[in-house]
Each structure stands twice: as C-alpha cells, then as structure tokens.
Amino acid sequence: MKTPQPSHPLPDGDVLYRALIDRDSRFDGLFVAAVKTTGIFCRPTCRARKPNPENVEFFAAPRDALLHGYRPCKICSPMGLPDEVPDWLQPLLDEVHAQPERRLTDRMLRDRGIEPDRIRRWFQKHHGMTFHAYCRALRLGLAFGRIREGDDVGPSAFGAGYDSLSGFTESFQKTIGFTPGESRDRQVVRVARITTPLGPMLAGATEDGLCLLEFADRRMLETQLTRLRKHLAAEVIPGQSDILSAIASQLAEYFAGERRTFDMPLVTPGTEFQQRVWEKLRTIPYGETRSYQQQAEAVGQPSAVRAVARANGDNRIAIAIPCHRVIGKNGKLTGYGGGLWRKEYLLNLERSASS
C-alpha cells in the first residue's frame, strides 16, 4: 500500500507571487496559484492574466486546491506533472532510445503526425536543446561507448548512423569536447531530467555509476557539473543509460514511500575527508536524523563540525546520499542546497512511511 505523500511546505508568499508574475519555470510543479475571483488554479508558468496579490492564494499541490473548491485551468492544465512526456511524444522517444543510430528527418516526423516545430518547442523548454540536437547527442554517445569498448573509430561512426568519417569526427568533437581518438582515455557523463513531486532533478551517470543527482533549480548545479568534468576528465552530454533508468525508477518508489535505500553503484570523486563524510551519511537510518555534531563524531573528528557541514553541502547525489537527514543540534532544519522546504518534505515523507 502506498504511503500518502505529505504536502510540502512552501517558500515565502512574496517569492511565490514574484515567480507567478515572472512565469518562472523553476517553480513549475512546486506550487499552484488559485485565483479567488475566478475559482481557477494555474501553474506558475500559465500565460493567463496574472491576478492582484490580494486575490491569489498558493497551494503545494493541485489536490490541495481542488479540496478548497478551485477548478483546474484549461489553458495550462495544472493537474499533470510539468515534465511529464506527453502522450503524443512518448512513442517517438521510445523509438529514439531503442534505435538512437536511426536519423529522423522533419518529413519522417510529419509522417508520424508530429509537427517538427511542436517537438522542437517541447525539447527547448524541457531540455534546452532541439530534438535533432538531442538525437545527435544520443548517436554520439552510442559511438563513444563502442570506441571505449575497443571498436575502431570508422565502424563506430557508421554504426551510429554517420555516412562520413570527417563529418562524424567534426560533430563528435564539437558535441563531446574531444576527438574520437581520445575516447579510450576519457569519460562521458550522460545526464537526464527526472520528474519528482519536488520539481525536476538532473541525474548524471558514467559507465561505472551514478555521479550526480541534484534539483534542477539548485544554484550550485553548474559548479557541481564543472567539478565533475574536472574530477572525472569527462564531458557532459544528454542521454540515457541503465543506471539513469534505475535511479528514475527507484526515486519514484522512494517518493511513494516504498523504498528506503538505493542500490546502485555511486561515483563520488572528492577528498578523503569528503569521502568519509558521504559514507557516514549513508549510515543514517531511514526516518532518523543526526546532528552536525553527531556527524562529526561519526567521522572521527568531533571538532570538525563546520568542515562536515561543508562536505555535506558538496554532496552531489541528493537523497541517495541522504544529507537531508543532518539537522542542527537544537533540532532545527539548517543547510540544505535544495531548500529547507524540500528538506522538511523529505524528512516528513520518511517519518510518515516509517510509522
């Protein structure tokens, strides 16, 4: 039986109203805005006319607005998750992921009843690139994997759907950041967005394991990606892998209250001290918390509370390495890169499932 998801706490009302006025997509999925004068609730990105602040109230989830008598907006359809793949697109994505080497032209898209401009707009909004750029990255990632496994560059290029070796080399270097011949000494981090009740997360994985899981709106995300490139001598490209599919599935089970631990390999480059801190984080039981002082003692350096807090903040794999379970000595919630309201939600979810 699934555990009901607790409604998450919301940021300050002024922050929410500013997000509504600015149509800030970072908040899509984190709240809905209900207009008292119309009885309708919307996503923060809705293009409908924005209400005056005294006429709007905010809810953490669509169901909360429904229970207060509001109706969903017909323009922005707030009942679905913002990053869900629409029904008209899912079969095409399944085909692309199953056969990434196959090139799809605009004419082929139209033959499937999909307007190229429509799919381009969706990919620009949700992935920051065009559909064709996404497909190209998948093909190049496939070729990279084959070269890493020992295949020659030529067969790898043709197997990825390229007709010209020179065109493949140019596209490979432009997209991935190094030449095909350097692939055996380099890595690629494949990244994908994952929809969660707390907003989209960005997951990244090498061939060895999960190396990134961050909320997409975290300010340090670009810094973390830069550090990964440096630590792993890797480039970051969009793509899919068995590890990314596994973390998406396990996150869904976690948020449903059906999973307490994550059982995939992790890649966590860092200092020896950071490694010890992150390892100790994984020993905090589900549904329980530990103070920063207790965490420092667990690491074996009771006076290094601030250093432990910094290492917690440098954790690149949220939830699976549960830095949200570390709280202040007085029991108050402090220090979470994803926002304290998310930290509160995660702790409430775990306590609810435990009980």
Domain segments of the chain: what residues? 13-72, 83-181, 269-354
Model pLDDT, residue 320: 97
What distances in angstroms separate CA 67 from CA 29, 30, 55, 63, 315, one per listed residue?
A: 18, 17, 18, 6, 38
What are the beta bridge partners of residue 235? 188
- Topology given in CATH for the domain delimited by 83-181: Arc Repressor Mutant, subunit A (1.10.10)
Residue 154 pLDDT > 90: no
Residue position matching structure tokens 């209250």: 257
d(CA 287, CA 339): 19
pTM of this prediction?
0.69
- Bridge-based pairing of strands 56-59 and 40-42 is unpaired
Element (H, E) at 264: none
Instruction: Mention the CATH class of domain 13-72.
Output: alpha beta
Task: Locate 49 and state its tokens.
Answer: 């006319």
Do the Cβ atoms of 266 and 210 come closer than 8 Å? yes
Distance of CA 295 to the CA centre of its chain: 27
Q: What CATH architecture does domain 269-354 belong to?
A: Orthogonal Bundle (1.10)
d(CA 160, CA 241): 16
d(CA 20, CA 345): 22
* pLDDT > 70 fraction of the chain, expressed in percent and rounded: 94
Angle (CA) 147-103-205 rounded to 5° is: 45
211 — phi, psi (to 5°)?
-120, -5
d(CA 147, CA 169): 13
The more confidently predicted of residues 210 and 23 is: 210
Count Cα atoms within 13 angstroms, Cβ side, for 228.
30
Residue 289 pLDDT > 90: yes
d(CA 76, CA 43): 6
Q: Which of 99, 164, 178, 174 is nearest to 138 (CA)?
A: 99
The more confidently predicted of residues 216 and 311 is: 311
Q: Annotated catalytic sites, by residue?
A: 42, 323
Residue 298 pLDDT > 80: yes
Burial (Cβ within 10 Å: 0-12, 13-18, ≥19) of residue 27: buried
The beta strands (E) that lie in the chain are given as 32-35, 40-42, 56-59, 71-72, 187-194, 201-205, 210-215, 234-238, 290-291, 326-327
Do the Cβ atoms of 9 and 37 come closer than 8 Å? no
Residue 76 pLDDT > 70: yes
Element (H, E) at 96: helix 90-98
Per-residue pLDDT of 118-151, as tens digits, reads 888 888 877 778 888 888 888 887 787 777 777 7
d(CA 325, CA 286): 8
- Min mean pLDDT across 78-92, 251-265, 298-312 is at 78-92
d(CA 83, CA 43): 12
Fold agreement (83-181, 269-354): yes
Per-residue pLDDT of 344-353, as tens digits, reads 889 989 998 8
| 140: helix, strand or coil | helix
Do the Cβ atoms of 267 and 211 come closer than 8 Å? yes
Do the Cβ atoms of 297 and 274 come closer than 8 Å? no
Residue 1 pLDDT > 50: no
